[in-house]
Amino acid sequence: MLKIYSVPVATYCAKLRITMRNKGLEWVELLPPGGYGSAEYKAIVPSGNLPALIDNGFMLADSEAIAEYLNEAYPEVAMLPDNVQLRAKAREKGRL
C-alpha cells in the first residue's frame, strides 16, 4: 500500500491527497516521525520535504513530482488530458 508523509494543514500535502483521491488510490498517511525537519524524518526523506511518497520502497518528495509519478505509475485514471495544449493548461492550474 502507498504511504505518504504529510501534515494536515499543509497546502502541498492537501494537493497530494486530492490527486490520490481523484485517482481512486488507497494509502496510509503518516506524520513525519520526530516532526517535520527532524533527523529521524530526514533518515527516511533526506530533503526533509513534505509531502513524501513511499511506493513499494521507492521514495519521492515534492507534490508536483509525486503527482506526475502517480499519473504515470497508476494510469488507470488519467489526471492529464491527451491534448498537449490542454495538458499544459492543466499543469498551469496545478502550479497555482
pLDDT band at 42 (very low <50, low <70, confident <90, very high): very high
Whose grid coordinates read 513499494?
56
Ranges of H-type helices in 10-62: 11-22, 39-42
| pLDDT higher than 80, residue 95 | no
Percent of the chain past pLDDT 70, that is, above it, reads 99
Q: Looking at per-residue confidence, does 28 or 89 come out higher?
A: 28
- State the pTM of this model: 0.86
- CATH at residue 61: 3.40.30.10
Measured between alpha carbons, how far is 67 from 53 in angstroms, rounded to an integer?
A: 10
Domain total for the chain? 1
Full domain range(s) for residue 57: 2-94
Average pLDDT, the chain: 92
| pLDDT higher than 90, residue 90 | no
Nine cell digits for residue 51? 509531502
Give the residue-averaged pLDDT of 28-51.
95
Residues across the chain: 96
